[in-house]
Structure 1
Amino acid sequence: MVDISADHEPDHDLTLDGHASDVKHDDDAVLARNYSDPGEVIEITLHAVDGLSWRFEPSVIEIPAGHRVKLTLSNEGLVEHDVEIVGVDAEGIDVDSGVERHDRLGGGHHEDGVVAAHAEPGTTASVFFTVTEPGTYKYFCTIPGHEEAGMVGKLVVTN
C-alpha cells in the first residue's frame, strides 16, 4: 500500500474545466505516480479542517486510472463533515466496515457518479474505489455552507 497525505495550506483557486495535463502541480497537490502494479492500493488521507479556515488538505489529489484507492476522510474539525466526488466513473465501491452510517450519505456510497464518505468530529471514514476513466473531478463537503466556506478540491485521474 502507498500512503499519501498533506498538512499544509491549500490553494483554493480551483479550475475544474481543464484537462489533467493543464493542472498546476504545486506544494498543495498530493501526487500518486509511477505505480506499476494496478493492484496496489493507494491510500489517501483527506483532512477536513474547520475553524478560521474551512478547507480540505490536500486540495488537489492526482492518481493514475485503474488503481484501487482508499480515501479516508479525517474530520479534525468541531462539526460533521463529508466529502463527495462528483461525476467520477468508478467501480468496486466499498465502505470501511467501521464507518458509522449517515442518514443521507450512508457513510460512503456510489450513486449516479458520486463517491462519498461522512465523518463526525474527531472520527474518520474510508471509502474504497477504482476510477476507470482519466479526468478531473470536483470533491467538496455537502454540509450546508461548507463548500462556500472553502471545503472544495479536485481529483485528477491520469492515464
Structure 2
Amino acid sequence: MQPSRRHAILAAALFGLAGQARSHGDKAHAKKAGPVVKEQMDWGIAGDAKAAKRTIEVRMLDSMRFDPDRIDVRLGETVRFVHRNAGKVMHEFVIGTREENAKHAELMKKFPDMEHDEPYMAHVPPGKTGEIVWTFNRAGRFEFACLIAGHYEAGMVGTINVNPS
C-alpha cells in the first residue's frame, strides 16, 4: 500500500509538526469543501453516495459502545453509514484494519490535539449525526472504532465482515 494522507499526518504528529492542530475534545472537525479524495485502502475506498443502496444507522453511546457493533456487507457493496451520537461527549467512527486502528489509537493518546479528516472517519458531536459513504471492495474482517483517547481502550469498537457475494 502506498503511503496515504493518513500516514503523512500521523508522521507529522510524531515529529511534532502538528502544533497547529485542533483538539478532538468537543469541537467538530469541519469537512473540507470539494470532492472526496478516493484513495484505495486495505478496507475499501470512499464511495459515491448515488451508488449506496443501503443505509446503516450506527448509534454512538457514552457507555463506550456502538449499536450495532457488528455489520455484514457484501464484497463490492457501497454503504451509507449514518452515525448518531446519543451521548454527551464527542465520539468518532473510523473504519480500518485492527492494526491500523490500534496504531492510530496509541497516537491519539500521545497527540490528542491531532486533527485529521479522511473519508473513512466521522467525528460526531453530542446529539448530532455524521455520515460516511464507503465501498467495500476488499473481502475480509475490518473494524470500526472510536479512537478518541480512552474510548478504544474502553471497548468502543465494532466489526465489519465483508463477505464475497
Correspondence for 2:59:
47
Tell me, which stretches of 5 or more residues in structure 1 are unaligned? 1-38, 89-102
Write the distance in 2 (CA, Å) between the matches of 1:45 and 1:147: 20
8 Å Cα contact 2:146/2:152 also seen in 1: yes
TM-score by length of 1: 0.58
Instruction: Give deviations 1:48-96, integer Å, cap 9, x for gaps.
Output: 001xx320011110010111110111101000000111139xxxxxxxx
Measure how far apart 1:105 and its partner are. 3.3
Correspondence for 1:104:
115
TM-score by length of 2: 0.56
Q: Name the structure where strand makes up a greater proportion of residues.
A: 1
Q: Give 2:155's match in structure 1, choosing from 129, 145, 150.
A: 150
The answer to whether 1:75 aligns with 2:85 is yes
The answer to whether 1:86 aligns with 2:96 is yes
Instruction: Write the letter of the residue equivalent to 2:78.
Output: R
Measure how far apart 1:128 and its partner are. 0.6
Q: Name the structure where helix makes up a greater proportion of residues.
A: 2
Partner of 1:146, secondary structure, is coil
Write the distance in 2 (CA, Å) between the matches of 1:134 and 1:122: 33
The answer to whether 1:137 aligns with 2:134 is no
8 Å Cα contact 1:81/1:118 also seen in 2: yes
* Identity level (%): 32
8 Å Cα contact 1:105/1:118 also seen in 2: no
Write the distance in 2 (CA, Å) between the matches of 1:74 and 1:83: 10
Query: Could you say what the CA RMSD is over the residues aligned between the two structures, in angstroms?
Result: 2.0
How many residues are matched? 100
Instruction: Give deviations 1:107-139, integer Å, cap 9, x for gaps.
Output: xx24xxxx2111000000001111101100011
Write the distance in 2 (CA, Å) between the matches of 1:148 and 1:87: 16
Q: Which portions of structure 1, spanning 4 or more consecutive aligned residues, are displaced by more than 4 angstroms?
A: none
Write the distance in 1 (CA, Å) between the matches of 2:95 and 2:81: 11
